[in-house]
Amino acid sequence: MNIRSSLFGPQSKYDRSLPYTYVARVCEIAGIEEITSAYFADTICGLIDYLEAHNIAAKDVRLFGLYVDREIPLELRYCIDESGHWLQRPDICHSLEQHYHESLDFQYKGHHETDPCEYEDRERQGSGPY
């Protein structure tokens, strides 16, 4: 991270067409969706790495991209493999990039399997639960 990004944050966070962060909501009591814990990361790959490191299964998670004025759900099927396990980099990047090219669903914009990733200026560290 350079001096500018350490003072003002990553340049990509000023791009309003990209989520400024990602959140995973995990239901804490089966069947009661109002009681959730939240996990955050500035990148979807960082969030998924964090969830996997904390043994949080994809079947228990709802993912969202958070924008300045809205939150938009992400479909889990683009973040997991055929067995229901989390995809890792670069597979998650490829999956989201491929889906964006096919659908033009803007919540999947900016993810690239190879450089330049529009999120490369962000930290990948996750946090939570909150």
Q: How many domains does the chain have?
A: 1
Vertex 123, ends 118 and 128: CA angle to 5°?
A: 125
What pTM did the predictor assign? 0.80
| pLDDT one-digit tens code per residue, 79-95 | 899 999 999 888 887 78
Query: By residue range, what is the domain housing residue 73?
Result: 3-127
* Torsion angles phi and psi, residue 64, rounded to 5: -140, 145
Question: pLDDT at residue 71 above 90?
Answer: yes
